Structure 1
Amino acid sequence: MNKEMTINCIRSVGSITIPKEVVGVVGRRTFASGGGKAKKGSKGGGAADAAKASTLSKEVKSTTVGGANIVKDGIDPKILSDSEYPDWLLHLLDKSSSLSVLRRKNVETLSYEDLKCFVKLDVRARIKENNSVSAKN
């Protein structure tokens, strides 16, 4: 994947919206409202507040990472241009080769990163094999 595709994937994750109906189906905890009738002048208005919250402009949705704020009084961070992100960030989504692919290659011609990956995956496979053999005994 190239850099632009990676950043576009990250941007698209931030712009995912979930309809109210889906959230209601997943789980909702309700309490008795004291007789079933709302009093005049009550401060309820939950449905009106929900409608206001979901009407963010499309411009705000496309320029910010929704839900990434962890500070109580903070705001969601803005999406920056690709050149403003560090190079290592774009390599986080790179897929490494699988153990079967690395076993077919000549170990002496592997790059350092591929060799590290091969050793890690080979050790993991041997541990799994040893555990399965000892579990049967």
Structure 2
Amino acid sequence: MSHVVLDDHLLRDLLADDVGPNLDRLLAAHSAATTNLYLVRLSRSLVSATGGALTGAWPLKARRSLARRLVRLSDDIEIVPMRSLAFRMAELADAYRLSSLGAEAVAAAEHLGAPLCVWSGDDGPRIRAAMAGIGADYRLLDV
């Protein structure tokens, strides 16, 4: 089965068993993948949740439950090792003025030959442009 790269919002929903119909359809046809830095950003939100769209409004009990799932992340969720992506990330960051997070997302999608799926609230024009530039599939999903 092919992969789909999920951003931190979509990974959060998957781990919280709160998958909407669009993500549900996507995961019926693809295996989940994410990036190292999306994992870090979700982890930071769970640890410090001082507001923000990711987990800031979540009660402490729900954040802790999600944190336990994140720490024991299933091997079914692919994470491309950074060492496999580092040089390509540097190329993409230079060519498209991407942050490290954006460069890793694009590089991981390219490496896996997978669509990059992003919560619509995190739509980034540079990431979108980079995905178009390499001829890859970029999808926005509402949560």
Q: Same fold (TM over 0.5)?
A: no
Structure with the greater alpha carbon radius of gyration:
1
Query: Normalising to structure 2: TM-score of the pair?
Result: 0.22
Query: Normalising to structure 1: TM-score of the pair?
Result: 0.23
* Greater RCO, CA 8 A, separation 6+: 2
